[in-house]
Amino acid sequence: MSRAPRIAFIVEGKTDYYVLTSLVSMWLKGHYIPTQIQPESSNFGTGEGWGGVFKWCRQVRENTKNKFLSDPLFTQFDLVLIHIDGDVSFSHYSDIGIDTPPNSDIPCYKKGDSASTIILKLEKVLANWCGITDFPIKVITVIPVMATEAWLFSGLVPNDNRIIQKTIEQEFYPDDLFVTQPKGLRLVRKNGDRNKKETKRYREAMPTFCNSWSNVTSVCHGAKLFDQKFHQSLQMI
């Protein structure tokens, strides 16, 4: 493609957007036009987190009268990336205030599930949200197990035993691992009982992370799968 491809991003949050746009910029040498669709920049959108992605999918489905892929988004953009974290597999709809869920597809995690199994299950969950059975080649699902921070930790702290032993995708809350790192790597800090992401440090970490991508894909199945799917889809547009 001679012109810069137009790529839409539907993600849980802004740090996920930093990670994905940094990777795509590395692959395309900055020659593309990114647009963040979700979370929306206004205060009237569907919100952040997996709940925001769920509500966005349902909203598009409703607006298109159950013909999700007929939305103008899919003709306006060359590629559409839809991201949720692997921790959705052990979440509940009640976590996002939905007491009467449209499906009984989550939680779907079973003890001992591999990263590939979790991803397959959540791809079906995402398809359920959209009211479709399969995603076309231009729609790329991005599912880090159990969260984008597992990819980041693999690239930024490569000498940690979890990376050496390739068990990082078994960590249920990988963002916790950043809390005890030295200041420059402390992308997450405790704020009372909750974790707070240091967005400035996320941005500053992107060059090192991208330079370590080959290590990330050797450790994280979800990262390797995303890399493969992106480049396969890119060849088709």
In a domain, 26, yes or no: yes
Mean pLDDT, rounded, of the chain: 95
Which pTM does this prediction carry?
0.95
Q: In 3-state terms, what secondary structure has residue 196?
A: strand
Give the closest residue to 87 by CA, choosing from 106, 103, 101.
Answer: 106
Tens digits of per-residue pLDDT, 172-188? 999 999 999 998 899 99
Phi-psi region of 127 (alpha: psi -120 to 50; beta: other; left: phi over 0): alpha
**Would you state the pLDDT for residue 19?**
98
Q: In 3-state terms, what secondary structure has residue 69?
A: helix
In a domain, 225, yes or no: yes
Tens digits of per-residue pLDDT, 106-138? 999 999 999 999 999 999 999 999 999 999 999
Residue 56 has pLDDT above 60, yes or no: yes
Give the closest residue to 50 by CA, choosing from 115, 122, 150, 109.
Answer: 122
**Would you state the pLDDT for residue 132?**
95
Residue 196 has pLDDT above 60, yes or no: yes
**Would you state the pLDDT for residue 139?**
97
**Would you state the pLDDT for residue 40?**
83
Mean predicted confidence (pLDDT) in 217-231: 98
In a domain, 1, yes or no: no
- Number of structural domains in the chain: 1
**Would you state the pLDDT for residue 118?**
98
The span from the CA of 91 to the CA of 170, in Å, is: 16
In a domain, 228, yes or no: yes
In a domain, 172, yes or no: yes
Domain, as residue range, for 107: 6-236
The span from the CA of 197 to the CA of 189, in Å, is: 7
